[in-house]
Amino acid sequence: MSSAESSWSPGEIPNELITALEECENPLVLTHIYPDGDALGSAIAIHRLLKSSGKNPRTILTHPVPEKLAFIDHDGEAEVLTENPQLNPEDLVDAADLVVVVDTSAPDRLGLMEPAVTSSDVPRICIDHHLEGAYEYFSAIWCEPGSPATGNLIFEVFQRMGIELDRDTAESLFVALATDTGWFRHSNAGFKAYEYAARLVQLGVEADPVYNRIFQSFSHERTLSLGDLLSQSVLSEDGKILHSVFTEEIRSRRGVSMEELDGFVDSLGQVKGAEIVFLVVEIGPMRYKVSLRSHGDFSVHAIATRFGGGGHAKAAGCRLEGTEVEVVSRLLDACRDLLGESATDPATDRA
């Protein structure tokens, strides 16, 4: 674990960001495409903060949330753009006097909402923890790449604004923090992550049932397809690189949805000595979604950005087009380059 991550503490929240939250009346809360626990938990928590301050917030997701995470939107506040033909991105942005973006600071990660947000004069603010923040895109941004999740930054916003957290909101934020840290196992879980978790538990969150709902509730089909994925995994470069491909053939044969694949890359990466782990998931003809994980000191963010993606040093992602063989070979080349750079650069030699 890098000491930078383990010793992270929150910096100052920009005053303009707090003022914008205080002064808006009709805020529109957005997050990244294919929302995960941190995206949904953070969006729902800021939605509740705004509602309890007398505002009329709307939270719009571009895609549905994985079924197992839906419980953290206790009151069903989030609306899904792709599930409701009545929802129109331009109308939604026009009706807002503030756009609040959480858990991404890259405009293209807003998916179908992005063109409407970009072409509008409505001020936009952002709370995030990714490395590739588009700072100039927002009128106010609080981006803390060392933060374990966005959810705990929302917790800080509650504190700063003097707004009480109820149990449901605490649970949404706990899920945000727990899922982004792999249940407090990843290197982004520094002392602060445990401190936030303790405070959320004090507010009434029960960790055990939350864990069971998210991590012990998979379908048997998912387990069988994970078996296929693991049995086809490949080790290369003296065991330093581990990868596997989840094809559309496996997915349809086993009858699992894309949302159920969450967590596969973590199960794949349980091999001793594997420093770079990547999972390639076929999402369409010649189209692949890639999840990268670093179990050593290498930054897989460098690989993801090489292909137009992003994320964090230890967990990053990108999309690639081509045949399966081409895509895997380009990724392996990029991994080898990273391993090679380290071998020839004494500054990053970890021997």
Q: How far is the CB of 315 from ligand AMP (least distance, A)?
A: 4
Using CB under 6 A as the binding rule, whether residue 181 contacts ligand AMP is answered as no
Q: How many CB atoms lie within 10 A of CB 125?
A: 23
Q: How far is the CB of 35 from ligand AMP (least distance, A)?
A: 10
Using CB under 6 A as the binding rule, whether residue 312 contacts ligand AMP is answered as yes
**Whose structure tokens read 């055990």?**
208
- 39 contact, one of Mn ion, ligand AMP, none, CB 5-8 Å limit per kind: Mn ion
Q: Which of 316, 327, 331, 334 touches ligand AMP by CB under 6 A? A: 316
**Given the rule CB under 6 A, which of 8-16, 192-200, 225-233, 303-311 is the region that contacts ligand AMP?**
303-311
- 291 contact, one of ligand AMP, Mn ion, none, CB 5-8 Å limit per kind: ligand AMP
Q: How far is the CB of 126 from Mn ion (least distance, A)?
A: 13
Helix (H) or strand (E) holding 234: strand 234-236
Rg (CA), the chain: 20
Q: How far is the CB of 224 from ligand AMP (least distance, A)?
A: 22
Q: How far is the CB of 278 from ligand AMP (least distance, A)?
A: 9
Q: How far is the CB of 98 from ligand AMP (least distance, A)?
A: 23
Q: Which of 311, 327, 331, 335 touches ligand AMP by CB under 6 A? A: 311
Helix (H) or strand (E) holding 245: strand 241-246
Q: Which of 35, 37, 151, 317 touches ligand AMP by CB under 6 A? A: 317
**Comparison of 107 and 317: residue with beta carbon closer to ligand AMP:** 317
Long-range contacts of 301-304 (CB under 8 A, 24+ apart): 301/131, 302/338, 303/276, 303/278, 303/331, 303/334, 303/335, 303/338
Long-range contacts of 213-221 (CB under 8 A, 24+ apart): 213/68, 213/71, 214/37, 214/68, 214/69, 214/175, 214/178, 214/179, 215/183, 215/263, 217/68, 218/260, 219/256, 219/260, 221/254, 221/255, 221/256, 221/260
Using CB under 6 A as the binding rule, whether residue 66 contacts ligand AMP is answered as no
Token readout for 294 is: 């670093």
Token readout for 309 is: 């993606």
Binding residues (CB under 6 A) for ligand AMP: these are: 265, 291, 309-312, 315-319
